[in-house]
A and B are shown apart, each in its own frame.
Chain A
Amino acid sequence: MSSIESLNLLFLATGFTVGFGHCIGMCGPIVVSLSLNLGDRAVMVPQALYNLGRIMTYALLGGLMGLSGSFTVVAAKIAGCQKGVLILAGVIIALLGLSLGRWIPFASVFPEIIEPKGMVMRGFRKLTAARSVSSFFPLGLLLGILPCGPVYTALLASARVGMEAGSSFESFVTGAGIMFSFGLGTIPSLLLVGKLGDLGWLKRREFVYRISSTLMIGAGIYFVIKGVLF
């Protein structure tokens, strides 16, 4: 087995282990919110699409890290973007919580008769109204950029192997491969958490929805605070 294959396996295992601790804390609120927001519909396909989008972003970031060979240069460039996504994720979670608790219907945020202007507002509406399966993939792509310690560690490894690769193409592929392996490893934990928001007997209880929505609003506000302080 080559050293790159070993590293891929190492980060696959790392993703699996940190997934059940760290990733549940960071992405747990998002996947639970998305599952609850799906109502009575099955969650596995949308959640799988969300995760696919997330690891595609990981792979792209890993490729860029490998290509540049410098973790700090790329990390500095994406830091501002990460801050914005962290705040955006918080707003999405809080809005989904408010919607779930029926404190505000989504219609009052973005009335159907009013078409939001601008790409950002249209995109935001599509993302927050994440009831269609197709919206989960772009949501994963966007939220894959969320800052996270273990993700940084895997990106660091991508930059290191990229530095040692023979060509630019090889640097990109090896860097992307490590991040893809890492992301793949984190999927089981997040699918499991996503499934938690899909327990049939729970979804039929109004009381549970109220509790869940309160927690989601709290988590959303917490994400926004984290984003502002980041």
Chain B
Amino acid sequence: MKPKTWEGLILSKTTTLLDFELKAYIFLSFTSGDPCKTGGREMIADTFWKHRKELFYFFLLSACLFSKEIAAEETPSTLTNCDIQLGPCTKVKDPLTVTLDIFPKPVKAMKELTFRLTFDGRELSDNPYIDLGMPGMAMGPNRVLMKRVGNNTSRVGNNTYEGQGVIVRCPSGQRTWKASVILPDAGAIDFVFDVIY
């Protein structure tokens, strides 16, 4: 994934560097005693080996200092499967067709939002709900309870539900959020989209 901002680029480089150092350390750990045969490499390997405890600490500390950013790198915006800013998104979970819309537009974090679900195909046995979270990052339970607001009597099984909720802001800068629509008798459908901070 190509980072979108200079800040993302720095984080990406840091992650790559840490990853390289970690691999080098693991390699040296497993090849203790005679890690490399050639002179220059041997010298580098000796230095690594000599300072192995310090390097281990360096990795641990780096992980503590930058773990959130490293974790955030695992959630690229390419994971999105819905452009909620443009309009409603539709997914099929046989026999249901589920449409999610969020408004007002643009969909911003830290604002009161209305979530609307429209189902087509059959009646639901109970009210659905939406669990909001970020892909790959635990954000705590944030559930939007949905209530039926009407149905289209001209078509069997067309139901509309609405609920109020807030998408919170993640200071890591990650904007990709996931709305898991939970259907009591049919499982879950994930809508992944970008919000505006």
Contacts and interface: CB of A to CB of B under 8 A. Distances in A.
Nearest to A152: B168
A222 B76 CA distance: 20
B112 A199 contact: no
B5 to A, nearest CB: 9
Interface in B40-73: 51, 53-54, 57-58, 60-62, 64-69, 71
A199 B140 CA distance: 31
Nearest to B11: A222
Contacts of B65: 28-29, 32, 215-216, 218-219
Contacts of B166: 71-72, 156
B196 interface: no
Given A149-B134, A149-B168, A32 B64 contact: yes
B17 to A, nearest CB: 11
Contact of B138 (A17, A28, A71, A207): A17
A28 B64 contact: yes
Contacts of B168: 149, 152-153, 156
Question: Most chain-A CB neighbours within 10 Å: which of B58, B62, B67, B69?
Answer: B67
Nearest to A208: B54
Given A24-B64, A25-B68, A25-B69, A202 B138 contact: no
Contacts, number: 112
Given A152-B168, A154-B140, A25 B61 contact: no
A150 interface: yes
Given A17-B138, A25-B66, A26-B68, A202 B57 contact: yes
A153 to B, nearest CB: 4
Interface in A68-110: 71-72, 75-76, 79, 86
Contact of A11 (B57, B140, B169, B172): B140
Given A25-B66, A149-B169, A150-B139, A72 B61 contact: no
A76 B166 CA distance: 13
Nearest to A10: B141
Interface in A12-44: 14, 17-18, 21-22, 24-26, 28-29, 32
A153 B69 CA distance: 19
Residues of B in contact with A, size category:
20 to 34
B111 interface: yes
A230 to B, nearest CB: 6
B97 interface: no
Contacts of B111: 72
Nearest to A93: B65
Contact of B64 (A14, A147, A193): A193
A219 B166 CA distance: 29
Contacts of A18: 138-140
Nearest to B171: A147
Contacts of A22: 68, 137-139
Given A25-B67, A26-B68, A152-B168, A208 B57 contact: yes
Interface of B: 7, 51, 53-54, 57-58, 60-62, 64-69, 71, 110-112, 134, 137-142, 166, 168-173
11 contacts: A21-B68, A25-B66, A25-B68, A26-B171, A28-B64, A149-B140, A152-B168, A212-B61, A215-B58, A215-B65, A229-B173
Given A149-B171, A196-B60, A202-B53, 17 more contacts: A10-B141, A21-B67, A21-B71, A25-B64, A26-B171, A29-B64, A32-B65, A71-B166, A72-B111, A149-B134, A150-B139, A152-B110, A202-B54, A208-B54, A212-B61, A229-B7, A230-B171
| Nearest 5 pairs of A and B residues by beta carbon | A25-B68, A153-B140, A152-B168, A28-B64, A149-B170
